Homo-oligomer: A and B are copies of this chain.
Amino acid sequence: MNPKKQQILSAAYELFINKGYNSSSIQDILDEANVSKGTFYNYFGSKAECLMAIMESIGSEIRQQRMAAAVGMPPNNPDVLAEQLYIRIKLNLEKNLFSLYESIFYSQDPELKSFSIKQYSLEMEWISSRIVDVFGKEAAPYALENAAFVHGYVQQLIHLWRLLSTEEVPAAKLSSFVIRRLQATIALQIAAKDTFIGNMKLPLTTSADSISIEELAPMLELYAAKLKNQKNTQQLVHFLSAELAEESPRKALVESVLTTLANDKQIESELSIMIEQVWKHLGDLT
């Protein structure tokens, strides 16, 4: 990544999480980054675009850490889900992201709005699929609304905690509490067959989930070709692409490479999404 761009991003990041998005002016960013207005608009079409770039990078950080937490663990282990939930809570708290999320959530800017809808849908989708992993197929009709349950409960409890106490939010305790409540309530809900959302699906479900291994290989290859300054990552992605293109990719090798990639903090959003996709297909390999 271009150093000037990086400079702008980290200055903006610092300002956004400290002063909030709306209260940080572009001039503030320029002063903080020691960069002129022309440079800023050379890299970002607008202030909103700059915010989205920051959100993307945080999203990929969360994806990476969540994959790293799941490596080598059975997918139906609720403690892994709690750990993965904890990762988002921890990052949100550390980086003060709540104000950022809300700035864009109810923004009038249509670009920001659709961006936030996409981010939100991805998270709901992710929690849903993990709920099915943990609680089995019979939980599927209730997965989406329980994803909303988890997400909303976490959010509210953090907010409540901050009103009640000056101490730091106990993220680990919070995450395991909510997962315990989820376990309790979802069992009852399945038994009672009580549902609000019913069998409706999020719009992106069908499209995003249907990326096959056959499609992933060339996408990865294309991405690898663009990597210039990260030789190590390039080698790994290139190998992964080639291996997935084979008749029967070797599971152990793919998993090993994925593990390494999942622990790489430099990885950008686009790649981390593809890695996650490969990860989901790991069970199909031998």
Binding site for B on A (CB under 8 A): 19-20, 22-23, 98-99, 102-103, 105-106, 108, 117, 120-121, 124, 144-145, 148-149, 151-157, 159-161, 163-165, 173-174, 177-178, 180-181, 184-185, 188-189, 192, 194-197, 200-203
Contacts and interface: CB of A to CB of B under 8 A. Distances in A.
B177 A196 contact: yes
Contacts of A153: 148-149, 152-153
A89 to B, nearest CB: 12
B144 A148 contact: no
A156 B121 CA distance: 12
Interface of A is mostly: helix
Contact of A20 (B106, B117, B201): B106
Contacts of A120: 159, 163
A156 B152 contact: yes
Contacts of A177: 194-196
B99 A106 contact: yes
